[in-house]
Structure 1
Amino acid sequence: MESTVAQQKSKDNQQDFIAGDVVVFTDPHKPDVLMTVHKVQGDGVLLDGNRNFALSHLIRTASAVELNAKRRLTKAEQALAEVS
């Protein structure tokens, strides 16, 4: 199964974020909410109007399907979305 460009960049730890990007945590145990990058700061980003901080390697860009669902999808949901 092919991975998306966003997933490949996250795996390679080469993800570059800019203010306004919508992101999700990669860890399924973290909240599944969409978050907006407020400011890039060192090896992390300030999220949601400077209320939260996350290291860049712990987040990835939200997919179009996740934007429509307004939440991070599980791996199973992502797989179903890719074939439909």
Structure 2
Amino acid sequence: MESTVAQQNSKDNQQDFIVGDVVVYKKPHMTSELRTVVGVFGERVMIADQENRFSEGVNIRTATVAELNAKRRLTKVEQALAEVT
């Protein structure tokens, strides 16, 4: 069975995570703290925090170098400034 264009685009936009990756939540209302991947189970990723929570891979992304330096998720404005400096 062939996949549709929408399914293929969804797969292309997904990120593969491995244990040890430093990630941030994409949503601004979620914590801006950096998190570490401690387990990967298909599309679900276990994030190290007080409760070792699971997150869907689509809700997180790899932290940028600027975020690693700042030790937190940057706002869109801060990220844009970091890209030009």
Please give the TM-score of this superposition, normalised by the length of structure 1. Answer: 0.81
Deviation at 1:71, TM superposition (A): 0.2
Query: Which structure 1 segments of 5+ residues have no match?
Result: 1-9
Query: Which structure 2 segments of 5+ residues have no match?
Result: 1-9
Question: Identity of paired residues, percent?
Answer: 58
Query: Runs of at least 4 residues of structure 1 off by over 4 A?
Result: none
Larger radius of gyration between Structure 1 and Structure 2: 2
The code of the aligned residue for 1:59 comes to I
Q: Give, in whole Å, the separation in 1 of the partners of 2:72 and 2:41.
A: 24
Determine the structure 2 residue equivalent to 1:7. none
Over residues 25-50 of structure 1, what are the superposed CA-to-partner deviations in whole Å (9 max), with x where a residue is unaligned? 00011000100000101211011177
Is 1:21 equivalent to 2:21 in the alignment? Answer: yes
Q: Give, in whole Å, the separation in 1 of the partners of 2:14 and 2:29.
A: 23
The number of equivalent residue pairs is 74
Question: What value does the CA root-mean-square deviation take over the aligned residues?
Answer: 1.7
Determine the structure 1 residue equivalent to 2:30. 30
Deviation at 1:13, TM superposition (A): 2.9
Please give the TM-score of this superposition, normalised by the length of structure 2. Answer: 0.80
